[in-house]
Every structure is written in C-alpha cells, then in structure tokens.
Amino acid sequence: MKIGIFGGTFNPIHLGHTNAIGEAKKHFCLDKVIIIPAAQSPLKTDKPMKDSDRVEMIKRATKYLDFVDIDRLELDRSGVSFTYDTIVELKNKYPDDELFFIMGEDQYDSFDRWYRYDDLLDLITFIVLRRNGSTKQIEAPFIAKNTSIFEVSSSEIRKRINQNEQYSHLINDHVYAYIKEHNLYEEK
C-alpha cells in the first residue's frame, strides 16, 4: 500500500491542508493519507491549541475523506515532535508499505534545519507540492508536482479570529462551527 504522511500542528486545520491531502492522493496514487498532529513543532515557538481540540477539528475537516486516518503518535509521545522519530516509528508500524511524506515548498526550503534530515532521506520518499506556475527547482531525491494549492495559513486564521475578521471561507464548515462553539483562538 502507498501511504502518505501529512504532519503539522494544524492549529487550526484549514482548506489548504485538506486540499494538499487530496492533491497528493490524486497525483501520487496514494491509497491512504495519515495525518499526524505535532505536539510541538521544533521550528515554531508558539504553543498550539489543546491536543483534543486540534484532533477534533481534524476529524471534522476530514469527515468525508474516507482515505484519511489520524494518528496521535506525536501527541502521545509529547514534547518536541521530530519527523525523524515519527518516521522510524511508522516504518516499524507499516513495514510492508511504501511511505511518502507530503510537504509544501516552504517546508522544502527549511528542510536542512530538520533534525537528522540526511537520515530522513534514507527512510522515506518526500513529496513536495508546488504551487501551479512555480519555477522553484526541487532537487532529487525529493519528488515534486505542481498543484492547485489553496493559499492560507493557520496563523492568518488565528489573526483574523483575534481581529474579529472574516475567516469562515478558509476552513471547513464543521471546523468553523467547532471554533465558534468553543470560542477557540479568541484572546481573553
């Protein structure tokens, strides 16, 4: 089986994330995509929303994507989430499957800052989703595909919530309802 791995803090998950999942599945013929929410990204300083809220939003955003699973392994491990540790664990969990790590150009650009990045290249194939029209050269062993990327960021959504600006068009309706119901990301 071909399994895509999609990690991040998902604080909150948005249409850019779900779009990337769908594009990767389509263009690389993935059988399944596993979303792995990070406990704490090593390259980000802000602390994400509670794990339970982020997982619930991921469940709601992917409710109708029958090829998506959520794995809490980084949350259960806690502490800083290093992709290397996660991939080693997943390789043991799925020894007969082909694993692909899905990333955007921004992650590709900072890849040399990742923990044990050289070792990672020996463990898993990395898919880089480029924006349509991008001319960025993606070097082997990374594989790339130009896709219709939905431009949005979780930090932009949090900023809009704090400034009482419109953001419902950037996230799934079920995620929007959850954020409103629980007053998430509002400065107290």
Give me the pLDDT at residue 16, please.
Answer: 93
Q: What is the 3-state secondary structure (H, E, C) of the chain?
A: CEEEEEEECCCCCCHHHHHHHHHHHHHHCCCEEEEEECCCCCCCCCCCCCHHHHHHHHHHHCCCCCCEEECCHHHHHCCCCCHHHHHHHHHHHCCCCEEEEEEEHHHHHCHHHCCCHHHHHHHCEEEEEEECCCCCCCCCCCEEEEECCCCCCHHHHHHHHHCCCCCHHHCCHHHHHHHHHHCCCCCC
What pLDDT, on the 0 to 100 scale, is given for residue 45? Answer: 67
* pLDDT above 70: residue 29: yes
pLDDT in tens, 71-83: 999 999 977 889 9
Whether 48 shows a pLDDT value over 70: the answer reads: yes
Any bridge partners for residue 145, and if so which?
129
pTM above 0.85, yes or no: yes
**List of domains in the chain:** 2-151 (3.40.50.620)
The pLDDT-based confidence of 42 (bands split at 50, 70, 90) is confident
- pLDDT for residue 93: 97
Indicate the pLDDT class of residue 156, thresholds 50, 70 and 90. very high
pLDDT tops 90 at residue 172:
yes
Model confidence over 89-147: pLDDT tens digits? 999 999 999 999 999 988 999 999 999 999 999 999 999 998 877 888 999 999 999 88
pLDDT for 182 beyond 90:
yes
141-159: average pLDDT: 90
Asked if the model's pLDDT at residue 159 lies above 90, the reply is yes
Task: Supply the pLDDT for residue 188.
Answer: 58
Q: Please give the pLDDT value at position 151.
A: 82
| Beta bridge pairs of residue 125 | 100
pLDDT of residue 147: 85
